């Protein structure tokens, strides 16, 4: 499939869904600094995919994909902390973890194609 815009990128689409789920999951979290950090990390995944694509060079796109992949790691790490602090239930933790791991793998595949 030819990618004409960042909206065509499956990793970006899934990162958008993950971001919405993170926002919903932590909407009532009273640990405001934690809440803000996990949301910013999730948004960073999709925004770095978009920004990198719009740079229109493989080299810059690849660099932004690495940043997005790093943000995946940050979200995963924070999800472990959220679970250990009882901010989220195990089922929600496992659901979100699965999604962020999948997005990270998709980004890795995209990096390899560049």
- Report helix, strand or coil for 88: coil
Give CA–CA dist 28/50, Å, rounded: 28
Measured on CA atoms in the order 30, 101, 113, 12, is the torsion positive or negative? negative
Q: Nearest Cα to 98, choosing from 21, 6, 9?
A: 21
Give CA–CA dist 3/84, Å, rounded: 39
Q: Which residue has the tokens 């595949």?
A: 109
One pLDDT digit (tens) per residue for the chain, 114 residues: 689 999 999 999 999 999 999 999 999 999 999 999 999 999 999 999 999 999 999 999 999 999 999 999 999 999 999 999 999 999 999 999 999 999 999 999 999 998
Give CA–CA dist 19/25, Å, rounded: 10
At residue 102, φ and ψ (nearest 5 deg) are: -60, -45
Domains of the chain: 7-113 (1.20.1440.60)
- Residue 25 makes CB contacts below 8 A (sequence gap 6+) with 88, 92, 96
């Amino acid at each position: 499939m030819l990618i004409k815009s960042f909206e065509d990128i499956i990793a970006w689409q899934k990162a958008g869904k993950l971001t919405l789920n993170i926002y919903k999951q932590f909407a009532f979290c009273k640990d405001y600094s934690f809440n803000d950090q996990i949301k910013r990390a999730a948004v960073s995944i999709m925004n770095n995919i978009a920004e990198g694509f719009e740079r229109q060079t493989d080299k810059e796109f690849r660099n932004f994909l690495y940043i997005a992949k790093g943000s995946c790691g940050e979200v995963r790490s924070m999800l472990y902390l959220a679970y250990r602090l009882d901010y989220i239930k195990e089922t929600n933790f496992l659901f979100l973890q699965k999604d962020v791991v999948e997005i990270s793998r998709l980004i890795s595949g995209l990096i390899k194609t560049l």
